[in-house]
């Protein structure tokens, strides 16, 4: 495919920001579908809104096909709470005519209790084999303690997961156990 998912994501962000700026204390959305030069279809959508207490959100999505069995999709969104909390996520997926596919996504959130971030990827080869990996970090604003969890999966090796916890100075500590 000749389409660039990063450019599509940028376009979504611009449309979402424009909608958010144009509609205080309200909501708006827009959807556009049209044929593209690759012989497929390009579809975009964006929604945004804000509330009377300062909360706001915007999200967008774009899908591009090329008429030969290939497709790419990107999506993203962001929220701001009236109390100053924030969250955002983004993802991109490509699917190829040979059956292979790739996905990457991530999110970040921050609020009064702390912050969290996560990023991951997944791929499927044309033969159906799958690999996946994700890393997630969370930090408490009360203690400064944090946890990092890494998970992976592959058709050949199966699933693996590790978690490590740290105090505010970065020293390794025992992770809390669930009751």
User: 14-24, pLDDT tens digit by residue?
Assistant: 445 544 444 44
Confidence (pLDDT) at 52? 83
pLDDT confidence of 157, banded at 50, 70, 90?
very high
Q: Which one has a higher pLDDT value, 8 or 33?
A: 33
Say how far apart CA 36 and CA 159 lie, in whole Å.
Answer: 40
Q: Given the structure tokens 């993203």, which residue do they identify?
A: 76
Domain ranges in the chain? 1-68, 98-179
Sheet holding 101-111, edge to edge: 27-35, 41-50, 56-65, 71-80, 86-95, 101-111, 114-124, 130-140, 146-154, 158-166, 172-173
User: 97-154, pLDDT tens digit by residue?
Assistant: 999 999 999 999 999 999 999 999 999 999 999 999 999 999 999 999 999 999 999 9
Phi, psi of 14 (to 5 degrees): -65, -45
Asked if the model's pLDDT at residue 9 lies above 60, the reply is no
Confidence (pLDDT) at 3? 39
Asked if the model's pLDDT at residue 174 lies above 50, the reply is yes
Asked if the model's pLDDT at residue 11 lies above 90, the reply is no
| Gap between the terminal Cα atoms of the chain | 50
Mean pLDDT of the chain: 86
CA atoms within 13 A on the CB side of 77: 11
Sign for the CA dihedral angle at 99, 106, 74, 11 comes to negative
pLDDT confidence of 26, banded at 50, 70, 90?
low
The token duo for 117 is 């971030």
Percent of the chain, pLDDT > 70? 84
- Give 74's contacts (C-beta < 8 A, 6+ positions apart): 5, 6, 8, 9, 12, 61, 62, 90, 91, 92, 93
Quick check: 107 and 134 in contact, CB under 8 A?
Answer: no
């Amino acid at each position: 495919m000749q389409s660039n998912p990063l450019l599509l994501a940028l376009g979504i962000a611009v449309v979402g920001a424009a909608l958010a700026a144009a509609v205080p204390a309200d909501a708006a959305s827009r959807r556009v579908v049209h044929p593209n030069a690759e012989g497929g279809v390009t579809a975009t959508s964006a929604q945004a809104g804000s509330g009377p207490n300062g909360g706001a959100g915007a999200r967008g999505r774009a899908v591009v096909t090329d008429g030969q069995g290939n497709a790419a999709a990107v999506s993203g969104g962001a929220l701001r709470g009236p109390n100053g909390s924030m969250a955002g996520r983004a993802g991109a997926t490509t699917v190829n005519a040979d059956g292979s596919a790739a996905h990457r996504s991530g999110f970040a959130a921050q609020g009064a209790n702390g912050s969290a971030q996560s990023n991951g990827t997944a791929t499927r080869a044309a033969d159906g084999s799958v690999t996946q990996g994700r890393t997630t970090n969370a930090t408490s604003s009360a203690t400064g303690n944090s946890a990092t969890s890494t998970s992976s999966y592959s058709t050949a090796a199966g699933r693996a997961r590790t978690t490590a916890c740290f105090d505010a100075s970065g020293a390794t500590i025992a992770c809390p156990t669930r009751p």
